[in-house]
Amino acid sequence: MGFPIRNLNDLLRVEQRSTSMWPYPIKAFFIYTNKNKQFSSFIRDKFLWLDRVSGSVIFYLINTPPKEWLEVAQERTYWNHFIQMSGGNIRYDDRNVHEVADYFGVNRSSIPCVILFRSLQESEYIALSGFGSLGLEELRLVFEKIFKITEEFLRYPDRQNQDYVRLLTARLRPFKINTNFIHREDTNTTATH
């Protein structure tokens, strides 16, 4: 399920409330700028498709949501709540993307990338990079695999994060996607108001 936001502060506020709002065990953040033309074009053109195939993954991104997605999202309680909380002005800004990248410790040269995490309260997450050289069809296949691997991983609650990394690494290897398991020292996740 897609969740366009404006900035890091929105992410922190939404995540602070998310445990009571929805049961999504894995979250993702798509970090990219409009300079990543192929990737940003794919996300923009396939946003509704990504929303449908993401399964148990809620994905965040900084982008102006497409009209067709907004029509679907009007029926979602979380979206209406967020619009009331944020004032409803979701606009793309590179500076806000870089702020999120800095929060997750993502080097600018690794953008575009996808961050996978369970909670911002945890200090471990997975960073997937190497999307910049993929064509549109390859991007579609990679995202299908990411969501399918995630569903498979979640069927076995006793699996550890390292198992998830191994699955992602093995199945995304043909696409030359880099998979990194990261332990972040700073887990300060307080939103400012």
Q: Which amino acid is at 79?
A: W
- What pLDDT is recorded for position 33? 92
- What pLDDT is recorded for position 76? 84
Residue 11: is it exposed, middle or buried by C-beta count within 10 angstroms (0-12/13-18/19+)?
Answer: buried
The verdict on residue 106 lying in a domain is yes
d(CA 46, CA 140): 9
- What pLDDT is recorded for position 88? 64
The verdict on residue 192 lying in a domain is no
The verdict on residue 9 lying in a domain is yes
When divided into structural domains, the chain yields a total of: 1
The verdict on residue 189 lying in a domain is no
3-state class percentages of the chain: helix first, strand second, coil last, to nearest 5 = 50, 15, 30
The verdict on residue 94 lying in a domain is yes
The verdict on residue 17 lying in a domain is yes
Distances (CA, A) of 190 to 58, 85, 99, 103, 193: 20, 17, 15, 12, 10
Alpha helices in the chain (DSSP H): 8-21, 37-45, 47-53, 67-73, 77-86, 94-104, 136-154, 161-172
d(CA 87, CA 127): 31
Please enumerate, as own/partner, the contacts of 89-93 that have beta carbons within 8 Å and a separation of 24 or more.
89/6, 90/4, 90/5, 90/6, 90/63, 90/64, 90/65, 91/6, 91/64, 92/34, 92/62, 92/63, 92/64, 93/6, 93/7, 93/62
In tens digits, the chain (193 residues) has pLDDT values of: 888 888 898 889 888 776 555 667 889 999 999 899 999 999 999 999 999 999 889 899 998 888 898 888 888 887 877 777 766 666 667 889 999 999 999 999 999 999 999 888 888 889 999 999 999 999 999 999 999 999 888 888 777 777 888 889 999 999 999 998 888 764 444 333 3
The verdict on residue 188 lying in a domain is no
Domain region containing 35 = 2-183
The verdict on residue 190 lying in a domain is no
Residue 125: is it exposed, middle or buried by C-beta count within 10 angstroms (0-12/13-18/19+)?
Answer: buried
| CATH code: domain of residue 14 | 3.40.30.10
Q: Which residues contact 20 (CB under 8 A, 6 or more apart)?
A: none
- What pLDDT is recorded for position 80? 79
